[in-house]
A and B are shown apart, each in its own frame.
Chain A
């Protein structure tokens, strides 16, 4: 039974969230533009970077010298951007909830729904981080992939609200996929942080003033690690839950199906990242590169294996 009205509401909410996210992205870009102009004009090195990383917005203002207008404007755009991001997230959440209600099941049963859910998870992870760290500067780098994912979801991957095929009718769908989809979101945020770390680290080494708004490379590396340390056990859980489900559906918990193989590759590469961080000569840049490789494997599994390579896990949903 599919409730067409609710499915319609869901689609509209998703479109609305795309619009609001786009506005959020513009506002957050404006924040970058204004703040970099300001920072180019002033000696930033004087500002204790440690304070910038950890403290909330107001505290930063206390530490910094009298704020010039560009800075105030940047701050305003930043706040607007973050508020819009929250609004977009709520619309997005509402859209997914309606989709679930429309089909009387969890809204993650085909690629359109997986993609929308992982975009939602990426936003969720980012917004949760902003409550703990002062990382509004990360916003652009999360909202952009979220917009791309949602754009792809509503165009290429869109599937009408439908019931599930028998292979997916299992409570393991609820457990396994929510873990995988949340991992996808968190991996995205982790990758964004690792890229920023690499850029910042390069800037610090070459003494360039680009990205002076960002915290020190060390601090970025630490936050990136935190995110990856959060997502690695979750991904481990997703893989184990998937294995249990496979055992229940096909009688074997591991069969080296392409999807399983790439889940394994992704897992091993992220394990290598955690090892690299504890190995002399691999910490820092190389470890970040390993984390990005892991994200590449994850994306490969999601897009290439789902859409191109065939296997038992073909739920692209058309």
Chain B
């Protein structure tokens, strides 16, 4: 493309003396094509660690595991923000520099472009035969064979081929394909739009998730979230005021074949109250089919089982009753691990930990496990700890983990060599803890994680993406070119017309344009004879 020639070929020159000169030099370097190229490479290179090292924003659990396994390395990674590559100062520096370079390069190019669009197609060069495509036609003498008529015919033919035509003395100049530069500018500008969309999403958006058990409700307020990330400009009072109740979670799994147990269909049946006072309505959330509630979208996240238990303490009082979410540890059989903490039990606090197995099986290698994700033979396998749960230490604890530092494991009996108590319960079974109470397995419910997201930047980002694509197509497939036609009389008084063309980008079919004009000239001068110039033999097919 010609309008950028100056920036494209700027060879590195030594910086001039003086602050202003330096600044100008630095700016020219920054906005050069070479710099853009290098920055693009750096951007690609910089993204690589973000895909290979666990990222806090993508998989926080993996980051913690990595830290435990390689504490030394992790502290180095921390220094280089390698657990948060995409929000790290150095990654931001690369893309901000790229954006500055882009804008710095777009502004002058837009100016040149606007001038080029308004300008007349350039004057006819002296030596047309030097151009890559050239033909000369000698017209038969006749009424319509004077140079002016020939030029008018050629101009009409070029206009039909959607060229912009400009008349000069004894010649015409025509150009088409301005859309290429338009497309190129639109493409690059749209990248800025996409970035703005992303920024808006970060500033004004929110994302959160909450685990909800069947039968429970969720109202869209800050306190109900297990996890909530709001942008700095997001106002929590603006959370849309809906309430959801999870009525039922339905799942269907592959029954046979080598993918037995693979998920086939999930649906969360919910009752929605759009705003306080609105009538409740039934709806469903499926994967790929989020619920749209007043600017927020609600997505279906992971799911699992919550066994329901009743715990009585040593005094026979019911100290706990309810469903406790267990976390799946095996995606195939959906074996789930979890704990039940009973701080109110007397004489000592109680903690149960173990597995929920939807379709229980047992072998010597694996111990108890589950063969299918649906509850076909549900079992709750638990062991028990008594003592201090450590809940009053003020240190936040995971609800899925038991801190056993101040607890002792409950044994089968009080004998010295007694085994730790482990029991596998079917629905309705009760495990008795000598002197400490009992636990009854009442049943199970399912839970889902509901993910709520609000992103006001998504429409601008999408529009930017669509615009970028359109610009890109124009920029890559529109083939700008120029055609010149000159007509004069030779010594014998016949009209000689020269037609020549020049490509302004890779690969337009210049021969077709020139042939088109020549055809038009010949047919209006019906018995015209032509002598094509040798330079145009055997045009390539491409």
Contact = CB atoms under 8 A, between A and B. Distances in A.
Interface of A: 48, 50-51, 53-56, 132-134, 159-160, 162-167, 169-170, 172, 219, 222-223, 225-226, 229, 232-233, 236-237, 240, 243-245, 247-258, 261-262, 264-265, 268-269, 271-272, 275-276, 278-282, 297, 305, 309, 311, 318
A272 B540 contact: no
Interface in B255-288: 257-259, 262-266, 286-288
B538 A55 contact: yes
A53 B540 CA distance: 7
Interface of B: 1, 4, 8-9, 11, 33-34, 36-37, 40-41, 43-44, 47-48, 50-52, 55, 57-58, 85-86, 198, 207, 254, 257-259, 262-266, 286-288, 290, 297, 299, 451-453, 455, 458, 461-462, 465-466, 468-469, 472-473, 476-477, 506-507, 538-542
A265 B541 contact: no
Nearest to B287: A166
B8 A243 contact: no
Nearest to B539: A54
Contact of B541 (A134, A226, A305): A134
Residue among A258, A309, A318 having the largest count of chain B Cβ atoms under 10 Å: A258
Contacts of A254: 198
Contact of A229 (B263, B287, B452, B476): B476
Majority SS of interface residues in chain A? helix
A215 B372 CA distance: 60
Given A160-B257, A236-B468, A271-B40, A256 B57 contact: yes
Contacts of A236: 468-469, 472
Ranked 4 nearest A-B pairs via Cβ:
A54-B540, A251-B453, A54-B541, A261-B51
Given A251-B451, A280-B9, A48 B538 contact: yes
A201 B518 CA distance: 37
A219 B507 CA distance: 11
Contact of B506 (A160, A222, A257, A280): A222
A93 to B, nearest CB: 26
Contacts of B461: 253
A245 B287 CA distance: 11
26 contacts: A54-B538, A54-B539, A55-B540, A159-B258, A162-B257, A163-B254, A164-B264, A166-B265, A166-B286, A166-B287, A169-B265, A233-B473, A236-B468, A250-B299, A251-B297, A251-B453, A253-B458, A255-B57, A262-B51, A265-B51, A268-B43, A278-B33, A279-B8, A279-B33, A280-B9, A309-B52
Contacts of A166: 263-266, 286-288
A96 to B, nearest CB: 20
Contact of A232 (B86, B286, B299, B476): B476
A265 B48 contact: yes
B51 A258 contact: yes
Contacts of B455: 247, 251-253
Contacts of A255: 57-58
A264 B541 CA distance: 35
Contacts of A223: 542
Residue among B4, B36, B51, B266 having the largest count of chain A Cβ atoms under 10 Å: B51
Contact of B472 (A225, A232, A243, A256): A232
A311 B59 CA distance: 9
Contacts of A318: 258-259
Given A166-B265, A272-B40, A222 B538 contact: no
B47 A240 contact: no
A4 B424 CA distance: 41
Contacts of B43: 268
Given A249-B288, A255-B58, A256-B50, A278 B44 contact: no
A258 B55 CA distance: 10
